[in-house]
Amino acid sequence: MTPTDATLEFWHEFASPYCYLSAARIEALAAAARVRILWRPFLLGPIFRRRPHQPSPAQDGPPDEARYRRRDIERLCADYKLPLTWPTGYPRISLLGARVALLAGDDAWAPAFTRAVYHASFAEDRDIGAAPVIAGILTDLGQDPAAVIAQAATPEHKARLAAQVEAAVARGIFGAPSFVAADGELFWGNDRLEQAIAWAVAQRGAA
Amino acid sequence: MTPTDATLEFWHEFASPYCYLSAARIEALAAAARVRILWRPFLLGPIFRRRPHQPSPAQDGPPDEARYRRRDIERLCADYKLPLTWPTGYPRISLLGARVALLAGDDAWAPAFTRAVYHASFAEDRDIGAAPVIAGILTDLGQDPAAVIAQAATPEHKARLAAQVEAAVARGIFGAPSFVAADGELFWGNDRLEQAIAWAVAQRGAA
């Protein structure tokens, strides 16, 4: 490997406010550390549905915990100087965004698309589950919205997203955001982003 | 208030490895920020038991998550340069430790007792649920173990611990470690210790 070869997979789910925080922060941190981010959109719903008594703590937890998590996000956004407007339809339906982001893969427009979807949801309270919202973001990025959305809805592509969820499970992923280093080391949560970047850097040093 | 009046309640549960991390770190951070720590031992069991489908994620979560959390603790201990020997009887019974720590209150020996119990459990893999282990720690601290343990087991003191759990619930606490500032602001998790200290400092500035 060359000194710039360090990579880190960023597994994210558009419904998650903690993913919003990481999506807004990861590019600057990765650039400073010369780590290449591999964008890995996926869905948590199919993973949560396999454990009926362990729903998403942010979405279905006890009232005290749900209240706390919202306050936690508010404080973190203030610390990071990120805008926040809590989605009135929380949790938003992330399916279409995930399909399009998976289609983008590691293309040049993938990071900007990902950031824009999170911003629309958590800074502007727009319904990212609605095709016109995603289409508007695609247009802003110079993509053909009708063509992209049609391709994202083919049976083949839907199967790819299902396989992506299984790939997450195979890595031991159970929540989002998650970060996976080249050696398979897993980090969970926005709180572990810096540690994951440092791990990827140390991997490069060890290679 | 005077410039040294900033306080922060530290709510901890001896079974929790994340509390071990915070108990080992909080005194140096608080001293540097001139924040006084108020030690608040409590029990999570009675809180978890009220929500049958939300058991402790660290203790009863899906296998992937339980594996991950143990690895997470290992990595954090390495980063913090803290010793770790995973308790063979995890989770340890924290009842006796909590009773004695509550008896210590904010006395001079409370911080050292608290640190020593966590160290015995997570660095030395000793059974902190056993009276001889707690007695040994008390002896090392110059306390009379028989007298202290007898006093900790009176019906009056057991009722005090039950009331302490209700005081935690009244603050919105649902996990440990938790930190509560003088204005009632709640922070959850070892990851929020620095943020909680900063909040307490800002409180002092605003007073």
B40-49 residue pLDDT tens = 999 999 998 8
**Using the beta-carbon criterion (under 8 Å), do A188 and B57 form an inter-chain contact?**
no
A131 CB-side CA count, 13 A: 8
Q: What is the mean pLDDT of each run of 10 residues along chain A (207 residues)?
A: 77 98 98 97 92 58 87 98 96 96 96 98 98 98 98 98 98 97 97 98 81
Out of A174, A191, A195, the one facing B62 most closely (by C-beta) is: A174
Q: What are phi and psi of A2, to 5 degrees?
A: -90, 165
Structure tokens at A90: 């929380």
**Nearest Cβ partner of A195 from B51, B75, B169?**
B75
**Where in B114-170 does DSSP place strands (E)?**
none
- What's the alpha-carbon Rg for chain A, to the nearest Å? 17
Given this model, what pLDDT does residue B80 score?
97
pTM over 0.95: no
Q: Which of A126, B51, A187 shows the shortest CA–CA distance to A199? A: A187
Residues of B in contact with A61 (CB under 8 A): 54, 174
CB A121 within 8 A of CB A128: yes
Q: Which residue of A has its CA nearest to B79?
A: A195
* B42-101 pLDDT, tens digit each: 999 999 888 756 555 555 667 888 899 999 999 999 999 999 999 999 999 999 999 999
Name every chain B residue with its beta carbon within 8 A of the beta carbon of A62. Answer: 51, 54, 174
Q: What's the pLDDT at B57?
A: 53
| CATH class in words for B7-206 | alpha beta
pLDDT at B194 over 80: yes
DSSP state for residue A35 in the 8-state scheme: -
What is the H or E stretch that residue B186 is in?
A: strand B186-188
Q: Give this complex's ipTM.
A: 0.91
Q: B129-132 long-range contacts, Cβ below 8 Å, gap at least 24?
A: B129/B89, B129/B92, B129/B93, B129/B94, B129/B95, B129/B96, B129/B97, B130/B96, B131/B96
In the stretch 39-78 of chain A, residues with CB closer than 8 A to chain B read: 51, 53-55, 57, 61-62, 64-65, 67-68, 71-72, 75
